[in-house]
Amino acid sequence: MVTQCADQHRAGVVVFQPARVSRKRAALLDGLTKLQKAIILYFQHADHAEVVVDLGQNSFYALTLFRHYRSWSSLRRAQNANCRASARLCHTLPGVMPSRWSALRWQSNSELLTCGPDCTTLEPIMSQPWSPDSWRALPIQQQPHYPDAAHLLKVEQTLASYPPLVFAGEARELRRQFAEVTQGRAFLLQGGDCAESFMEFSAAKIRDTFKVLLQMAIVMTFAAGCPVVKVGRMAGQFAKPRSANDEIIDGVTLPAYRGDIVNGIGFDEKSRVPDPERLLQAYNQSTATLNLLRAFAQGGFADLHQVHKWNLDFIANSALAEKYSQLAGRIDETLAFMRACGMDSSPQLRETSFFTAHEALLLNYEEAFVRRDSLTNDYYDCSAHMLWIGDRTRQLDGAHVEFLRGVNNPIGVKVGPSMNTDDLIRLIDILNPDNDPGRLNLIARMGANKVGDHLPQLIRAVEREGRKVLWSSDPMHGNTIKASSGYKTRDFAQILGEVKQFFQVHQAEGTYAGGIHIEMTGQNVTECIGGARPITEDGLSDRYHTHCDPRMNADQSLELAFLIAETLKQVRR
């Protein structure tokens, strides 16, 4: 028996009264997903529909179906844009059924209105409201186990009392610049450490990474003829997801190292115990890093002439000098012309905008920095200008998605080869329900041998559904290998190969390849093999300093920038 009811100005509701439905949540989900047909009511202005399952004996389950399901979109396209689909029409369409069911939301009988045979209007059952701590009620992945919960709570309260690291207005400005990238009028450059370290914290290290990012940006800006939005994996990139909870060495099992913000890298029991005090140290280091970055960006260090001189020095000592000298020469001529015209004192030539970002992995840390903006009343996570969700923590019903859906920062999602089109559209709609072009950055991290097989179908799904997102490429995480010497490394040729394919796929699909997201350092490390000054597997041990994943060094990063610049020039002709 199926009863239908609807209101012309509300989402539709379908009440199922199946003969046999288990009262257990898992069995109920299984039963629903096996239905051959589901009647879904769709109205043009409805955000969602409600499905209520009558279990009998005055017991009900309810779940929300959002309109991004493929069946809804198809139904909308099948009708005139100005008309609403009716329950009768939905019923006549064969196989109208969502490919995925959203998580069940229990509604007590007192909250659930009934719908009788006379089709009395049933008020939609709304989804749960967001709050800074609503993530705590949901399943969560990749979290450390702190042995002293009281100590952790005290640290969380202390962090919440501290000043924010960034301000809402800065995050709004980055969101505006992201919108420019999404619409093809700018390019995103995002880079920095795999994981920041307490031990290697120094002004010189911050300066060198910032310097290389500036050098990369000037080359890309000139080649593409558009602004480059600069975002550092800095001032908060401490926590790291791990493939296993434990690490085993010589038969000894200890908790995995999860970044300096959680525990120590030393392989001993004391170092590996998660310590809440490290959250405070991470905050203090982030504060100092941000202070120095702001000084570099606005105090003259970012002067365009100086940055170009650094690039000339790189080219003069590079094996690729002949290849890139022509581009560098054109930049030199342009700067000389501007100087001759008296335009070399402009603040735009001496200062730059620079933003920070990190993976929002430790949600107790992130929650402590949620602030409500006094101008807009929106929530912002003021630990960074941008946050992203990793490929391991993007579960639709998980805590990380729940947390980031409620903060107004621009956000990113790592998209790996395991992502399917239906889940991607659902994720986009949860995180960017207003379809704002500056809100969401999809960071493709496929691997050089998989990007051509997986990325096109995801791009097509996003385009088909009319979603506005910023696409960027992470050519690092899908190309990690283990060298014969035992070191974890990445081949520069594979990194470059994924970047090239990323641009090629977007060009073939008629979409915009909007950015690059890399793990790099300004130091002369030997962690990734290859490059114009090739690092061999035997040479990895010379200066292998990373606490987690291998990073490109300064020369490799600049070489990649020149290669991307050539591609951008061709794409933007």
**414 in a labelled binding site:** yes
Strand partners, 146: none
Quick one: CA dihedral 296, 302, 303, 305, positive or negative?
Answer: positive
Tell me how far apart the alpha carbons of residues 416 and 299 are, in angstroms, rounded to a whole number.
39
Specify the amino acid at residue 417.
P
User: What sections of 225-320 are H helices per DSSP?
Assistant: 269-272, 277-298, 304-316
CA distance 50 to 246: 42
Does the annotation place 233 within a ligand binding site?
yes
| CA angle, 360 then 47 then 53, to 5° | 95
Q: Is 194 annotated as a binding residue?
A: yes
Q: Is 353 helix (H, G, I), strand (E, B) or coil?
A: coil
- Strand-pair partners of 443: 414, 472
State the Cα–Cα distance between residues 294 and 298, nearest whole angstrom: 6
Assign 343 to helix, strand or coil.
Answer: coil
Q: How far apart are CA 423 and CA 68, in angstroms?
A: 10
DSSP letter at 266 equals S
Q: Which helix (H) or strand (E) holds 116?
A: none
Closest listed residue to residue 238, CA positions, set 293, 278, 288? 278
Q: Residue 519, annotated ligand binder?
A: yes
CA distance 223 to 569: 5
Amino acid at 534: P
Annotated binding site for phosphoenolpyruvate: 233, 414, 445
Annotated binding site: 194, 233, 414, 445, 477, 519, 549
Annotated binding site for Mn(2+): 194, 477, 519, 549
